[in-house]
Amino acid sequence: MPDPTLDRYAVIGNPIEQSKSPFIHTAFAQAIGQSIDYTKLLAPLGGFAAVVDAFRANGGRGMNVTAPFKLDAFAYATDLAPSAQMAGAVNAMKFEGDKVYAENFDGVGLVRDLVHNLKCPLQGRRVLILGAGGATRGALLPLLAEQPSELVIVNRTVVKAQELAALAQQHSAVQVPVLGLGYDAVQGAFDVVLNASSSSLRAELPPLSADVFAPGCLAYDLTYGKGLTPFLQLAQQADVTRLADGVGMLAEQAAEAFAWWRGVRPDTTAVIAQLTVPLA
């Protein structure tokens, strides 16, 4: 039974057993001397709203949202932040009375991991991002805010990459060239290559030429905990020495949500160290 004296939070998904969110948020709270009750909620497909309604009725204060419910959360929210509107998806909610405030912290979490943790400034750099799904869509504005020299989106279905490129240029306050291409049209080498496609979840290699990796490039797989994925193996074989997975992004987006809920942004160093899987 939850402790009725503690503020209640949860992560909702299907499946949900694999989620690291309870560990992360409990560790954050302990590190700054707070106590919270944070649980996992398995919702049936089609049953998202009913589970959230029950959680709110029992005093729930906020919720992280993972697959496959980020679109359900978008529809459920009463107040969507610009980050959620741009992403078309929600990964964090805050409940205040009848209001359901919604955010998407994935993009800002990715950029903070790149720039702050990995010491990889994006300003003036050529950035290539693989995939044109929700992860890429949510990352576009935070990436462009760092003022890269160029951002190229590559996808098997070229029109999806082109649509995202147009959307990014329409909404970005920063004038950065954004291109949407197919894999066979990518030219030149890039300083940062981000794999936001689902290929690593299936242990597949994207149809990517090893020529895209510039000397000193950072190859970053948004998937975490999978070790040396086929994408990272390709980069390694191309003599890329800076390899990273998405564990830092996971921790940083969680820290953004925690700060939004609790008013204090926790340090992520210890959590990242505990969750890091060797890239081997």
Residue range 153-182, pLDDT digits in tens: 999 999 999 999 999 988 877 889 999 999
CA distance 56 to 95: 7
Looking at the domain covering 107-245, what would its CATH class be? alpha beta
pLDDT above 90: percentage of residues in the chain? 86
Any idea how long the chain is? 280
> Residue 4: its pLDDT value, please?
64
Question: 48, 73 in Cβ contact below 8 A?
Answer: yes
**Long-range contact list for 208-212, CB < 8 A, 24+ apart?**
208/130, 208/154, 208/183, 208/234, 209/183, 210/234, 210/235, 210/237, 210/238, 211/238, 212/128, 212/186, 212/188
Average pLDDT over residues 19-26: 96
Amino acid present at 277: V
**Mean pLDDT, range 235-259, rounded to an integer:** 97
pLDDT at position 280 over 80: no
Evaluate if residue 139 carries a pLDDT over 70. yes
pLDDT at 198: 87
Q: pLDDT, tens digit, for every residue of 67-104?
A: 899 999 999 999 999 999 988 999 999 999 999 999 99
Between 3-7, 152-156, 232-236, the lowest mean confidence (pLDDT) is in 3-7
Position 134 scores a pLDDT of 85
And the tokens for 185?
Answer: 């049209």
Task: Return the pLDDT at 115.
Answer: 98
36 touches 266 (CB < 8 A): no
pLDDT for 2 equals 58
pLDDT in tens, 195-221: 999 888 788 899 999 999 999 999 999
Q: Lowest-confidence range among 36-40, 93-97, 142-146, 223-227?
A: 223-227
Do the beta carbons of residue 249 and residue 276 sit within 8 Å? no
Domain ranges of the chain: 7-104+249-275, 107-245
pLDDT at 172: 79
- DSSP for the chain? ---TTSEEEEEEESS-TT--HHHHHHHHHHHTT--EEEEEEE--TT-HHHHHHHHHHTTEEEEEE-TT-HHHHHHH-SEE-HHHHHHT--SEEEEETTEEEEE--HHHHHHHIIIIIS----TT-EEEEE--SHHHHHHHHHHHHT--SEEEEE-SSHHHHHHHHHHHHHH-SS---EEEE-GGG--S-EEEEEE-SSGGGGT---S--GGGEEEEEEEEES--SS-S-HHHHHHHHTT--EEEETHHHHHHHHHHHHHHHHS-PPP-HHHHHHH-----
Residues annotated as catalytic are 70
Measure the CA angle with vertex 75, ends 69 and 76; round to 5°: 85
Same topology for domains 7-104+249-275 and 107-245, yes or no? yes
- Quote the CA–CA distance of 103 and 123 in Å, as a whole number: 25
Confidence of residue 131 (pLDDT cuts 50, 70, 90): very high
Using an 8 Å Cβ cutoff, are 269 and 247 in contact? no
1, pLDDT greater than 60: no
Name the residue type at position 266: P
User: How many C-beta neighbours within 10 Å does residue 239 have?
Assistant: 10
Position 44 scores a pLDDT of 97
As beta bridge partners, residue 154 has 130, 181
In angstroms, the CA 71 to CA 88 distance is 7
Q: Is the pLDDT of residue 5 over 90?
A: no
Q: What is the mean pLDDT of residues 55-75?
A: 95
- Write out the CATH class of domain 7-104+249-275: alpha beta
